[in-house]
Structure 1
Amino acid sequence: MTALGLIETKGLLAAVEGADAMLKAADVRLLERNMVGGGLVTITVAGEVSAVSASVEAAVAAIGRIDGAALVSGHVIARPDAEIATILALHPATDAAQAAVCCASAGPAVKASAQAAVPAADGVKVPETTAGKTAGKGDAATPARYEISQLKKMNVGRLRQVARSLKGVSLTADELTTAAKKDLIDAIINAYRQIEE
């Protein structure tokens, strides 16, 4: 990463329009979308300095064309310090590739388990904790496996439970108690990959 570009908007519509303009205007990578609260949404991109500058300018122009959209700020940081990596998700392409590999390798198995669960779920709502425990009771070597979309919907406490139940999780017990949601999901995906090998 040689430059970091950020836009902050009031409202999701302006943020989506800005992100679209940023990605279409230049060769930049979308790092993250962060909903701060109070309607503020921050979009972060990375790439070459000139590309990031052009993409931020394009986003500012695109958001300006939307009636009622509020651009709070747009900023480019050229050659940010390496410590910035601790507060940003700097490897989204790797995460997306991991997600694709995880879903592709588990595609048929996930579909089969989803089809098997459909008849049992007619009219009966089973909590996730019960489903995970019953899957674990049948075969201790194969813990319940969740899709990435399911992991993203879980709260942090549930993700910590899932991570603790898996063997080969890269986080220590102390790191598990303080890890962010994204870090927990990454650790769970990596543990699934190790189980497959």
Structure 2
Amino acid sequence: MTTRREQTSHESRELILAAAARLFAEKGYRQTTFVDVAERSGISRGSIPWHFGSKEGLLLAVLERSVEAIRAGLSDEAPDVAAGFEQLTRGVGALFGAPTTKLFVTLLVEALEPDSPIRGRYAEIHAVLREHCRRSLERLPLPPGLSAEALAVMIIGAGIGIHQQWLLAPDRVDADAALAALRTLVAGLLPPGAPGR
């Protein structure tokens, strides 16, 4: 049975993680301080290292939580080609409209550094997304010579690129329209008469 103290500790941890995720997405990892996280979460600054050990530990916990949320939101249930296509196109829109996407795009530059503490976790996030996309694509009648794996890399890359452009210039980039265009392009790969075409 969970004690009140354990419940309070869990609630504090969740508030810290939520606040840190928003701040990392807004300001980036390097510019975010424990003071920022404490102010945003309403939890004392001293509680943060107690829960996570260090700022790097906090960042890794935020990314782990995000990976779990993505995995929980991805379903492999698709009984037929039409359902598979519908799931894929809905998934593309939902995935790149998720709050976690802003976090991933903001942290991209830091993840690319060879000694980055998040490089491996970031690569895992991309692998999870590509694998889900690949499994969805394998249910569709793709043209000969076009692998589901290569197409998954393209779709995930396009979605991240669209979101990155939108974050840099939201007044000049219509992310919804661009994602709709991506879905239309994927639909165009299906043979004439195929469900979803």
Q: Same fold (TM over 0.5)?
A: no
Higher helix share: 2
Between structures 1 and 2, the one with greater strand share: 1
TM-score by length of 2: 0.29
Higher RCO (CA 8 Å, separation ≥ 6 residues): 2
Q: Which has the larger radius of gyration?
A: 1
**With structure 1 as the length reference, what TM-score do the two structures score?**
0.29
